[in-house]
């Protein structure tokens, strides 16, 4: 079980940290530019401006309204976010590159960002069912799925509960959960639970966990690689999401039942999801790939978005279903 609840305060501090450092770029909210599945992001400007032009849409899924963006051409690729994250936190350059080859769908998990919640208790299994429901609403019968951190937990449950819907599975910075997973070191957990100091200080501590120290020293301006948050979520949703992670029993005993070609992808210097967890997953899923990126932290996709995209694309192209 992960000790994550105090991250509620730190995630909120991270939002305030960015809000105080810079303001959202033009077009970051209330966009009305038209987009439809099958259209690549071909507008002029930066990747951030491209993704800002894609309107947020909603779909009725079970008892909630799920907010999502749908863009690009090719076979569908569903991206599932991590704890406390909203869809505006995916690296724009990564989305731009992926959407040149794939139809990409990003969305806010239940209760986060623009997606509503209900009285149903949050659970990793419910998040997986929400993802399957969104696929149904978008008439996507089968898709490649990439989950980051908690999103990798959800992706595992999706592959187990709805196997016909998952073509290929990418588990980025994930664990199998339960007693079989390897937790972060006590010093890291102590930093995660440290809520002292200003919003800036808390945000800087979180960055120190997302990225290796030497990489941070070489990249002091976070605005050059990390998206500015434009969405916020109710504090209650962070608590409910944390509770869902805390009671999740994991998938260790069920991992051999996953039949989708699987990649367990980790940064070799990830201190939140320690790299050994990728080998646990890879050793349990038949035929799974395990790739670790030297110098990569928990936020590896922000550090090396082009390399990250090449690894993902190579795996998807090389794996047959």
DSSP string covering 119-150: SSPP-HHHHHHHHHHHHHHTT-SSEEEEEETH
Instruction: Provide the pLDDT for residue 1.
Output: 41
- Evaluate if residue 206 carries a pLDDT over 50: yes
Domains of the chain: 7-318 (3.40.50.1820)
Q: Which DSSP letter does residue 93 get? A: H
Report the chain's mean pLDDT, rounded to a whole number: 88
CA distances from 118 to 37, 50, 66, 225 (A): 28, 32, 12, 34
Choose among 144, 146, 165, 143: nearest CA to 155: 146
Please say whether the beta carbons of 171 and 281 come within 8 A: yes
Q: How far apart are CA 186 and CA 123, in angstroms?
A: 26
317 has pLDDT over 80? yes
In percent, the amount of the chain with pLDDT more than 90 equals: 73
Residue 5 has pLDDT above 60, yes or no: no
E-strand spans in 23-132? Answer: 57-61, 64-72, 76-80, 103-107
**Highest mean pLDDT (candidates 190-194, 220-224, 259-263):** 259-263
> pLDDT tens digit string along 143-186?
999 999 999 999 999 999 999 999 999 999 999 999 999 999 99
pLDDT at 4 over 80: no
């Amino acid at each position: 079980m992960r000790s994550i609840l105090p991250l509620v305060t730190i995630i909120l501090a991270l939002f305030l940290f960015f809000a105080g450092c810079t303001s959202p770029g033009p077009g970051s909210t209330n966009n009305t530019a038209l987009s439809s599945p099958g259209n690549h992001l071909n507008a002029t400007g930066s990747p951030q401006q491209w993704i800002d032009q894609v309107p947020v849409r909603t779909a009725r899924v079970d008892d909630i309204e799920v907010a999502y963006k749908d863009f690009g051409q090719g076979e569908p690729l569903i991206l599932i976010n991590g704890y406390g994250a909203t869809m505006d936190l995916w690296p724009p350059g990564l989305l731009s590159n992926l959407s040149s080859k794939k139809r990409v769908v990003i969305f806010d998990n239940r209760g986060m960002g623009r997606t509503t919640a209900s009285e149903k208790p949050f659970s990793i299994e419910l998040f997986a069912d929400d993802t399957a429901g969104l696929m149904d609403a978008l008439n996507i019968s089968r898709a490649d799925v990439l989950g980051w951190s908690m999103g990798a937990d959800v992706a595992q449950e999706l592959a187990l509960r709805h196997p016909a819907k998952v073509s290929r599975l990418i588990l980025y910075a994930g664990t199998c959960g339960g007693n079989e997973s390897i937790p972060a070191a006590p010093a890291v957990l102590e930093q995660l639970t440290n809520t002292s100091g200003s919003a800036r200080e808390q945000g800087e501590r979180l960055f120190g966990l997302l990225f290796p120290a030497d990489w941070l020293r070489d990249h002091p301006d976070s605005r050059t690689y990390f998206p500015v948050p434009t969405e916020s979520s109710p504090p209650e949703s962070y608590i409910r999401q944390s509770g869902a992670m805390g009671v999740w029993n994991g998938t260790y005993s069920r991992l051999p039942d996953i039949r989708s070609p699987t990649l367990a992808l980790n940064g070799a210097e990830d201190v939140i999801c320690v790299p050994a967890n990728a080998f646990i997953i890879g050793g349990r899923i038949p035929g799974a790939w395990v790739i670790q990126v030297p110098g990569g932290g928990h936020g590896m996709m922000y550090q090396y978005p082009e390399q990250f995209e090449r690894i993902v694309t190579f795996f998807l192209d090389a794996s047959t279903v």
